[in-house]
Chain A
Amino acid sequence: MDLVFRLLPETLDSWLRVTLAGTLCAVALLTFMALGPLLYVYTETKIAGFMQDRIGPKRVGPHGLLQTIADAVKLLFKEAIYPAKADRFLFILAPCLVVMGAFLSFVVIPFGSRLVTADLDVGLFYVVAVSSLSTVGIIMAGWASNNKYALFGAMRSAAQIVSYEIPAVMTLLLPVMLVGSLSLQHVVWAQNGGLQNWFLFRYFPLMAVAFLILFVAGLAECNRAPFDIPEAESELVAGFHTEYSGFFFALFFMAEYTEMFVISAVASVIFLGGWMSPFPNGFLQHLGFVGLPQVGLGPLWLIGKAWLLVFVMMWLRWTLPRLRVDQLMHVAWKVLLPVSMALVVVVGGMALWGPTRSGFPWDRWVGWPIVVGLLLYLAWGIVDAWRWSARRPQTYAA
């Protein structure tokens, strides 16, 4: 926002400049948020198809590229049906709140060294506070629908989000203790200098475990599979959005995908170096990309990392079955919470103790081998899949 503020002519009144800059940033973020689901829904349907050996959408546009647009247009033009005994005001307010909860977190996510709407000093706290707004929206939706399935879904959602927010916040404490600031921009700067400096590889196994906990808890907070019991279609029709149709259903849908992106973006800011390049400083310039400005690539790195995590979320969704309610609570209270609390104590102690103040001695050397090894393993999986499908007989196609 500072950037936009400075770009506006100085002849304007300062209040007008602030308002204009804020509005412009909001419009830009809103566009990003509204267009994102078009991409995510398409990739999700395609990935779902591929993982089930199908091909996914194919008819609308080349390779089904326009399928999401067709779906969105359909949803926008559909009639919004209000149940006769629903609380009309809350019924309409609920999806707006859910979207707002997802959208407000965008404000503090840094897309570059200066590309951030508001680098709040309480950034992480703000993210935690604002993202629980969507819980209110979901409960409101379930209650206002006047439908038992919607209410069940809302209650499950409340129980789930309340449980999973604790380990999530516990793991958010770790970078705060290491950096000494709640500002997301400071967290990013603390991971400057390439992949080996990312918080993912600090105190090596410890912060990686914290990252996993944050990721799992984030998955649960945006009600994604395998934690999608609030909208478990096999038991609850569609959970809290059973009664919603048309545009309001589209809002819920958009909120879910936006929340996925926000959680992935926050996780990549905290553990994967945010908008920093994974290569050491000056590495790309050394390779010959001389003219590349480090700052200009920032949004690409952050969005790329976030999309990578969104892909992992989709990958998990099409891999794992839905958890039972008691299993869900078991994971939250008996596994994630004790581990995250132990991590807070141990990492906090490490950060205070002199010899391990800036990490274990092997931290700088584990990052690259792990990442390269993982990539090689995945690449080998691709080759193996090709070899496997070449052996498989194809008897049915003409």
Chain B
Amino acid sequence: MMKWLKDVWEGFWTVLVGMRITWRHLFTRKVTLHYPEEKWILPPRSRMRLFMKYEDCIGCGQCARACPVQCIYIKAEKRPATAPAIYAANGQPIKLDVSVFDIDMSLCCYCNLCTYPCPTDCIYMTPEYEFATTDLTHHLYRFAKPNAKFLTVNPKPPAKPAAPAAAPAKPPSPQSPPSTPSTPSTVPPTTAGA
């Protein structure tokens, strides 16, 4: 009998305890984020939609090779010798005509691996995340522009007075055969930093 009474009392009392908790939560501040009106402050270096600055691309294709899901498609041809010289923003000469640079964001796994090898830092992740579409093909972003305005003057000329000083850095760029895009990738940052 005492056990029964204790049981009933505990049942009743614990219900009241639970009701007390929900009563308080009825009046606490809500945690809901009113999404389209309010937005999250994204953490620094958050990885969202990829962007590629076409004017800076030298067509080396390292990003496409680094991509684990093969969502970057590049088609590049050797620039004819008669064409005017053009340069990327960090002073690297662009020797390939990039006719196609497509990124399929519906395939992208947001790993950020493509941005590290880029010699000109022209591909990077933006904090832009609201790009849902009703059609999956709209996620295929075509970055190649037919009428892009390239830099025809080297923004960072290879330091005329310091030419002898930068002697070890210089040789790779004139010789740079199109078959070895990896050698200029390591060198220009060092010249830019020096």
Residues of chain A at the chain B interface (Cβ within 8 Å): 47, 49-55, 58, 212, 315-316, 318-320, 331, 334-335, 378, 381-382, 384-386, 388-390, 392, 394, 396-398
In the assembled complex, the CB of A155 is this many whole angstroms from the nearest CB of chain B, namely 25
B28 and A396 within 8 A (CB): no
A385 and B32 within 8 A (CB): no
Q: For residue A212, which residue of chain B has the nearest CB? A: B12
Set B21, B32, B38, B40: member contacting A319, Cβ < 8 A: B21
In the assembled complex, the CB of A327 is this many whole angstroms from the nearest CB of chain B, namely 10
A315 and B23 within 8 A (CB): yes
Asked whether any CB of chain A lies closer than 8 Å to the CB of B81, the reply is no
The verdict on A386 contacting B27 (CB below 8 Å), with A319-B22, A381-B20, A396-B40 known, is yes
Closest 6 CB pairs of A and B: A389-B29, A385-B27, A389-B28, A385-B24, A319-B18, A319-B22
Set B19, B22, B32: member contacting A55, Cβ < 8 A: B32
Between A and B, 11 residue pairs with Cβ closer than 8 Å are: A51-B22, A51-B25, A51-B26, A53-B31, A212-B12, A320-B18, A334-B4, A381-B27, A390-B29, A394-B29, A398-B39
The docked-state distance in angstroms from the alpha carbon of A51 to that of B30 is 9
A315 and B22 within 8 A (CB): yes
The verdict on A58 contacting B24 (CB below 8 Å), with A319-B15, A398-B39 known, is no
Set A47, A334, A384: member contacting B24, Cβ < 8 A: A384
B22 and A318 within 8 A (CB): yes
Tell me how many residue pairs across A and B have CB atoms closer than 8 Å: 75
B25 and A378 within 8 A (CB): no
Chain B interface mostly helix, strand, loop or mixed?
Answer: helix
The docked-state distance in angstroms from the alpha carbon of A331 to that of B28 is 33
Set A50, A335, A378, A388: member contacting B30, Cβ < 8 A: A50
In the assembled complex, the CB of B128 is this many whole angstroms from the nearest CB of chain A, namely 15
In the assembled complex, the CB of B2 is this many whole angstroms from the nearest CB of chain A, namely 15
B26 and A47 within 8 A (CB): yes
In the assembled complex, the CB of A64 is this many whole angstroms from the nearest CB of chain B, namely 12
Q: For residue B8, which residue of chain A has the nearest CB? A: A335
Residue from A319, A388, A389, A398 whose CB has the most chain B CB atoms within 10 Å: A319
Q: For residue A390, which residue of chain B has the nearest CB? A: B29
The verdict on A385 contacting B30 (CB below 8 Å), with A319-B15, A320-B15, A397-B38 known, is no
The docked-state distance in angstroms from the alpha carbon of A212 to that of B8 is 13
Asked whether any CB of chain A lies closer than 8 Å to the CB of B34, the reply is yes
A385 and B18 within 8 A (CB): no
In the assembled complex, the CB of B70 is this many whole angstroms from the nearest CB of chain A, namely 35
Chain B residues, CB < 8 A from A58: 34
Number of interface residues of B (CB under 8 A): 26
B40 and A385 within 8 A (CB): no
B25 and A397 within 8 A (CB): no
Q: Mark B128-149, 1 if CB is under 8 A from A, else 0.
A: 0000000000000000000000
Chain A residues, CB < 8 A from B23: 315, 378, 381, 385
B24 and A381 within 8 A (CB): yes
A388 and B24 within 8 A (CB): yes
Asked whether any CB of chain A lies closer than 8 Å to the CB of B194, the reply is no
B29 and A315 within 8 A (CB): no
B34 and A53 within 8 A (CB): no
The verdict on A53 contacting B8 (CB below 8 Å), with A319-B18, A381-B20, A398-B38 known, is no
B20 and A53 within 8 A (CB): no
Asked whether any CB of chain A lies closer than 8 Å to the CB of B83, the reply is no
The docked-state distance in angstroms from the alpha carbon of A315 to that of B39 is 31
In the assembled complex, the CB of A375 is this many whole angstroms from the nearest CB of chain B, namely 12
Chain B residues, CB < 8 A from A212: 12
Interface residues of B in 29-56 (CB under 8 A from A): 29-34, 38-41
Chain B residues, CB < 8 A from A50: 25-27, 30
In the assembled complex, the CB of B181 is this many whole angstroms from the nearest CB of chain A, namely 42
The docked-state distance in angstroms from the alpha carbon of A316 to that of B20 is 11
Set A55, A385, A394: member contacting B25, Cβ < 8 A: A385
The docked-state distance in angstroms from the alpha carbon of A124 to that of B46 is 66
The docked-state distance in angstroms from the alpha carbon of A397 to that of B41 is 7
Chain B residues, CB < 8 A from A318: 22
Q: For residue B20, which residue of chain A has the nearest CB? A: A381
In the assembled complex, the CB of A151 is this many whole angstroms from the nearest CB of chain B, namely 30
Please name 17 further chain A to chain B contacts, defined as beta carbons within 8 Å, in addition to the given A47-B26, A50-B26, A388-B28, sorted by A numbering.
A50-B25, A50-B27, A51-B22, A53-B29, A53-B31, A54-B32, A320-B15, A331-B11, A381-B27, A385-B23, A385-B28, A386-B28, A388-B24, A389-B29, A390-B29, A396-B40, A398-B41
Chain B residues, CB < 8 A from A52: 25
Chain B residues, CB < 8 A from A385: 23-28
The docked-state distance in angstroms from the alpha carbon of A169 to that of B65 is 78
A53 and B22 within 8 A (CB): no
In the assembled complex, the CB of B125 is this many whole angstroms from the nearest CB of chain A, namely 20
Q: For residue B15, which residue of chain A has the nearest CB? A: A320
In the assembled complex, the CB of A378 is this many whole angstroms from the nearest CB of chain B, namely 7
In the assembled complex, the CB of B147 is this many whole angstroms from the nearest CB of chain A, namely 38
